[in-house]
Amino acid sequence: MGLFSFIKEAGSKVLGFGKNITEEASEKNEKRAQEEQDKNERVARKLEHTIHDLDLKIDELSIHIEDDMAVVSGKAGDQANREKIILAVGNTEGISQVDDRMDVEDGEPEAVFHTVETGDDLEKIAGKHYGDPAKYKLIFEANKPMLKDPKKIYPGQVLRIPPEE
Whether residue 27 sits in one domain with residue 59: yes
pLDDT in tens, the chain (165 residues): 444 555 555 444 555 555 566 777 778 888 888 898 999 999 999 999 999 999 999 999 999 999 889 999 999 989 999 999 999 999 998 889 999 999 997 678 889 999 999 999 999 999 999 999 999 999 999 999 999 999 999 999 999 999 987
Query: Cis omega (within 30 of 0) on the bond before 155?
Result: no
d(CA 140, CA 19): 60
Domain that holds residue 154: 111-165
- Considering the domain architecture, whether residues 128 and 156 belong to the same structural domain is answered as yes
User: Please, are residues 140 and 122 in contact by the beta-carbon 8 Å criterion?
Assistant: yes
Give the CATH number of the domain where residue 153 resides.
3.10.350.10
If asked whether residues 157 and 79 sit together in one domain, one would say: no
How do strand 97-106 and strand 158-161 relate by DSSP bridges? Answer: unpaired
Number of domains in the chain: 2
pTM: 0.76
How far is 104 from 106, CA to CA, in rounded Å? 6
Together in a domain, 25 and 41: yes
Tally of CB atoms within 10 A around 145: 11
Residue 12 in domain = no
